[in-house]
Amino acid sequence: MADRKKPYPFDEFEPAWQKRWDDQKTFRVSNPGDPDFDASKPKRYILDMFPYPSGAGLHVGHPEGYTATDIVSRFLRRNGYNVLHPMGWDSFGLPAEQYAIKTGQHPSITTAANIDTFRRQLKMLGFSYDWDREIATTDSKYVRWTQWIFLRLYNSYYDTELKKARPVSELESRGWTREQIDSVRLAYVAEGMVNWSPDMGTVLANEEAEEWRSKGFTIERRKLRQWMLRITAYAERLIDELEPLDWPESIKLLQRNWIGKSTGAEVVFTCGEHNITVYTTRPDTLFGATYMVLSPEHSLVEQITSPEQREAVRAYQKVCAEKSDLERTDLSKEKTGVFTGAYAINPVNGREIPIWIADYVLTGYGTGAIMAVPAHDERDYEFATKFGLPIIQVVQPDDPSTPWQDFCGYDGSMVNSEYLNGLPVPEAKAMMIQKLEEMGCGRGKVNYKLRDWLFSRQRYWGEPFPILWDKETGLHHPLPENELPLLQPEMEDFKPSGDPRGPLVKAQDWIHYSDRYTRETNTMPQWAGSCWYYLRYLDPHNDREFVSPEAERYWMGSGGNPGGVDLYVGGTEHAVLHLLYARFWHKVLFDYGLVSTNEPFNKLVNQGLILGEDGQKMSKSRGNVVNPDDIVREYGADAIRLYEMFMGPLKEVKPWATKGVEGISRFLARVWRIAMVENQEGEWVVSGKMTAQDLGATPVRRELHRTIKKVTEDIRSMSFNTAISKMMECTNAMTSAESVSLADYVGLLHVLNPFAPHITEELNRLLGEQFPDLPKQQLALQPWPGFDEAFLVDLTKEIPVQVNGKLRDKLQMPTDATREQMEEAALASPRVQEFMAGKSVRKVVVVPGRLVNIVVA
RNA sequence: GCCGGCUUGGCGGAAUUGGUAGACGCGCUCGACUCAAAAUCGAGUUCUAACGAGUGUGGGUUCGAGUCCCACAGCCGGUACCA
């Protein structure tokens, strides 16, 4: 592309300002205890979701959220806050490892290069991060504390009485056996069905499996021994403590659904000498249970199946085991199942009901067995209809027009249920639970969909588990803390070998710890580092603690302010993974008094996705990816920042339009040319339009004060698009004015500064050379401007006059006109009278200062 | 299927939360400057020749509805038999 002349010389001054901010550490913020720390200022912690430094470099989606938080941070600093606004790298991750496998380049080299690119690109956009606090999850000094927190989990159990984590050493002193203790640790080893990807040679968490499958990786179910984190212990708190947070309701809902709390009861049925426990949310419908279903994998199936049915049952189990996940979840799929030949006794009425197995009952949820109430459950109804099983109504819907078959609602009362008859559903539910407990054949039970978090991966590029295995006893032990960090061994070949122990098994020397102990070969998932990075920023160079209590209390404490991170901006894709995991770790740390709040992120905002110019999601294959480097080269950093904020509301999904960047660039050029003109030699010099004289309450002055008010409000509500349009209006007013006073113009620069820091600082500097009285300090360090109410009030206002709700005239009236004056003026209007001709006035609605509506008939 | 969100000019989007619909920007049209073009500046731009109509569709509440209520449709996102 031909190198066009820039509309203003951003290519010169933007890098110069960036260098100055970097060299002078303009945006460094000190911690309590530092010599230059100002304890009188309140704090705000403004956080971005840190990026995975991919080889592709920065995407235009990154600067969207990052610009928003940068504007807020710059605004708050200028309003007297100590602002913590850091950046770092989520640098463990699969792509670096895959790339390493392909090229032989060690992941640490690729990662370092990618980080350099990302850092350069972010600095090129003029973000006001405190770069002294930069962290990378792959840094050995960081890994040390990730492993340290893991050991904390390993050495903890969840005390269900106190509802908090406690050290397992407590249990030792109470005489618990090693085996008992291992069964309650927050980090534990368990064998179970897991998602295994042969392509990647690793297992994945439930939460991740679908994402990777959609990227084209094969995922199978496989029985393996893995490290798990007992996140389910925190299920209740993860739901309850979500409530007061200032998060989008939709994200809270997503988390609530993911945790999936349900209240019901466990009911014990008998089958010969066996007890079969089912879970139900509708114990009230127990009299309507006409059959029972076990999941095909249920442990009792083998024992209860009658000889005649044995073959059919085995065949069905085999079919289910071979089914892929996709087939299992196929929506249109018909219900399938097989009778076991056995019968169970319903404890409330002694009735015998047949026991079936069917794959619509899942092994992993509840007890893996259900009582089927076909009259009041859609799935049971479908199954019963297909296999000709009896259907007994036990709930009569309140609305008589509703058919009772397959009525699943709660608005009804009980029938055919002996002592429950006539009771409304909720009361019957409570009564039945009480009855079951009295009879000793059931109890109230809360269930969650959330499963424990599969935490180990068979990868090279991740934090190794700080765990040793005792060859003699087969037991695991924590690595002594003074041996942290435990880094991966240097290896040439970390290809997945199909060995479910992962690539580290190949490092024989590393595995060998002593004659008695060998190292754990699994590594942690990428989430480990991102679970607590926001805490490391508080005190990133601390070698003695993961964070000092003083720094933690100041930046995360409540101290009259909202506690925790005050603003966290990032994409929705982390709604259930990162945000759930991080909350879990934070709560464990909170239980130990290591952090001050029970929740890490007080306020969360999701930025909307930026689509390609074609309205489609940006992707390499579509060829619609916009590279921020190109935009900065062509239009400058201020232009891309401002454009991304101007596109629309931060939260909305919006398509990219390079023409729109041009429009923004024109706006910035107009701001520039109010103060600057090119002389004969083609140099920019201060224009004669600028005057040091106070021109008084000109329209420009009034517009400026309205702009200051609007921008101040809009930054607080994060409505950046409307703030920018207001600044455009102000600029247009200054452009069309004959002459602009220096004070008014600099006022505009002040409010534009957080959005477009480079051009505003440069103009302020250039004007400072011309006008010696202008404060020389950077705008970023000066107080935020206030507005004067006196300039906001208008003497007259245009008042719309409607006849029967239709606009018929507009009248210029004093702002403080009374009702009577307004009505009189409206009725006197010739335009209005035309529309009233021949009709009588029924009513006149007057809204003072707003409008007049004349109702005629 | 269930849950959530969205739907306003040719396009991105505004609208003091029930009070002049279309701010601001893009695009387009015309004009000024120029030998010419680009850039810049100025004027115009919801539709309609006009009467009028108009915020996905249909109904309702109200003096007045983009905004509130009811029903429906379309698009986007999440989720997948959780008993």
ipTM of the complex: 0.94
The nt closest to A727 (CA vs C1′) is B24
DSSP A818-837: -HHHHHHHHHH-HHHHHHHT
Give the residue among A452, A456, A601 at the shortest CA–CA distance from A527: A456
Measure, in angstroms, how far nucleotide B50 C1' is from residue A817 CA.
37
Quote the CA–CA distance of A78 and A782 in Å, as a whole number.
Answer: 6
C-alpha closest to that of A194 among A458, A505, A459, A582: A458
10 Å Cβ neighbour count for A841?
13
User: How many angstroms separate the CA atoms of A437 and A421, rounded?
Assistant: 20
3-state class of A133 per DSSP?
helix
Confirm whether any atom of chain B, the nucleic acid strand, is less than 7 Å from CB of A324.
Answer: no
Nucleotide nearest to A371 (CA to C1'): B83
How are beta strands A338-345 and A851-856 bridged, if at all?
unpaired
Q: Is the CB of A831 under 7 A from strand B?
A: no
Structure tokens at A119: 């850092």
Alpha carbons A591 and A241: distance in angstroms, whole number = 14
| H-helix or E-strand spanning residue A844 | strand A841-847
How many Å apart are A736 CA and B43 C1'?
14
Strand partners, A69: none
Q: CA–CA separation, A570 vs A251, rounded Å?
A: 12
Peptide bond into A374 cis (omega under 30): no
**Is the CB of A425 within 7 Å of strand B?**
no
* Residues paired with A188 in a beta bridge: A228
| Dihedral (Cα; A824, A830, A836, A840), 10-degree rounding | 40
Question: Could you check: is the Cβ of residue A667 within 7 Å of any atom of nucleic acid strand B?
Answer: yes
User: Measuring CA to CA, how many Å separate A275 from each of A290, A299, A440?
Assistant: 18, 12, 12
DSSP reduced 3-state for A54: coil
Quote the CA–CA distance of A600 and A725 in Å, as a whole number. 35
Instruction: Return d(Cα A394, Cα A376) in angstroms, integer.
Output: 8
- The closest alpha carbon to A313, from A290, A336, A330, belongs to A336
On the 0-12 / 13-18 / 19+ scale of CB atoms within 10 A, A756 is buried
Can you give the C-alpha Rg of chain A in angstroms?
34
For residue A749, which of A780, A719, A720, A788 has the smallest C-alpha distance? A780
Q: How many other C-beta atoms can be found within 10 angstroms of the C-beta atom of residue A42?
A: 12
Residue matched to tokens 């205890």? A33
For A240, residues 6+ apart whose C-beta sits below 8 A from its C-beta are: none
Q: What is the pTM of this model?
A: 0.93
3-state SS assignment for residue A343? strand
Structure tokens at A845: 């609605």
A516: nearest Cα among A464, A465, A474: A474
DSSP A418: G
**Dihedral in degrees, nearest 10, Cα atoms A455, A459, A461, A467:** 60
Give the distance, in angstroms, between residue A855 CA and nucleotide B55 C1'.
Answer: 24
To which residue do tokens 């000094």 refer? A141
Give how far the C-alpha of residue A21 lies from the chain's centroid of Cα atoms, to the nearest Å.
Answer: 30
Residue type, A355: I
Q: Which of residues 285-304 of A touch strand B (CB under 7 A)?
A: 295
DSSP string, A758-811: HHHHHHHHHHHHH-TTS--S-GGGSPPPP--GGGT--SEEEEEEEETTEEEEEE
A664 touches strand B (CB under 7 A): yes
Distance of A848 CA from B53 C1′ (whole Å): 30
CA neighbor of A700 nearest in space, from A747, A664, A668 = A747
Contact A401, A407 (CB under 8 A): no
Exposure string (b/e) for A544-554, b if CB count within 10 Å is 16 or more? Answer: eebbbeebbbb
Q: How far apart are CA A361 and CA A305, in angstroms?
A: 17
The answer to whether A552 and A592 have CB atoms below 8 angstroms apart is no
**Residue A146 tokens, joined:** 């990730």
The answer to whether the C-beta of A360 is closer than 7 A to strand B is yes
Beta sheet of A43-48, edge-to-edge order: A82-84, A43-48, A567-570, A604-606
What lies within 8 Å, CB to CB, of A659 at 6+ separation is none
Task: Identify which of A645, A680, A775, A673 has the alpha carbon closest to the alpha carbon of residue A734.
Answer: A673
Crossing angle (nearest 10°) for helices A757-770 and A658-675: 10
Scanning A376-416, the segments in alpha helix (DSSP H) are 378-387
What is the strand order of the sheet A796-803 is part of? A806-814, A796-803, A851-856, A841-847
Q: How far apart are CA A526 and CA A457, in angstroms?
A: 9
How many angstroms separate the CA of A722 from the C1' of B21?
A: 17
Rounded distance in angstroms from the CA atom of residue A246 to the C1' atom of nucleotide B12: 29
What is the rounded CA–CA span in Å between residue A582 and residue A531? 4
Protein CA at A183 to nucleotide C1' at B16, angstroms: 61
Among protein residues, the one whose C-alpha sits closest to the C1' atom of B39 is A7
Tokens of A634: 């062509």
| A761 vs A703: CA distance, rounded Å | 22
pLDDT of A561 reads 67
Collapsed DSSP state (helix, strand, coil) of residue A321:
helix
Cβ-count burial of A688 within 10 angstroms (0-12 exposed, 13-18 middle, 19+ buried)?
A: exposed
Tell me, in Å, how far CA of A631 is from C1' of B34? Answer: 30
Nucleotides of B under 7 A from a protein CB: 1, 3-5, 11-16, 19-21, 23-27, 39-42, 53, 63-65, 76-83
Q: What is the DSSP letter of A608?
A: P
CA/C1' separation A625–B34 (Å): 38
Mode of pairing for the β-strands spanning A806-814 and A796-803? antiparallel
Could you say which residues of chain A have pLDDT below 50?
Answer: 1-3, 331
Cβ atoms A265, A283 nearer than 8 A? yes
DSSP E strands, A439-506 = 442-448, 453-454, 467-470, 476-478
Supply the DSSP symbol for A617: B
Query: Can you say how many angstroms the Cα of residue A829 is from the centroid of all Cα atoms in its chain?
Result: 57
Cα-flanking dihedrals φ and ψ of residue A844, to 5°?
Answer: -125, 120
What is the maximum span of chain A, computed from C-alpha positions, in angstroms? 109
**Pairing of the two strands A43-48 and A567-570:** parallel
Q: Which nucleotide is nearest to A334 (CA to C1')?
A: B81
Helix (H, G, I), strand (E, B) or coil at A221: strand
DSSP state of A754: T
CA of A826 to C1' of B47 (A): 29
CA–CA separation, A650 and A663 (whole Å): 19
Written in H, E and C, the secondary structure of A691-736 is ECCCCCCCHHHHHHHHHHHHHHHHHHCCCHHHHHHHHHHHHHHHHH
The reply to whether A652 has its C-beta less than 7 Å from any atom of strand B is: yes
CA distances from A815 to A73, A75, A794, A847 (A): 38, 33, 7, 12
- Answer yes or no: is A379 CB < 7 A from strand B: yes
Distance, CA of A308 to CA of A616 (rounded, Å): 58
Give residue A548's identity as a one-letter amino acid code.
S
Does residue A412 contact residue A395 with C-beta atoms inside 8 Å?
A: yes
Q: Which of residues 236-295 of A touch strand B (CB under 7 A)?
A: 249-250, 253-254, 257-258, 260, 262, 264, 279-282, 295
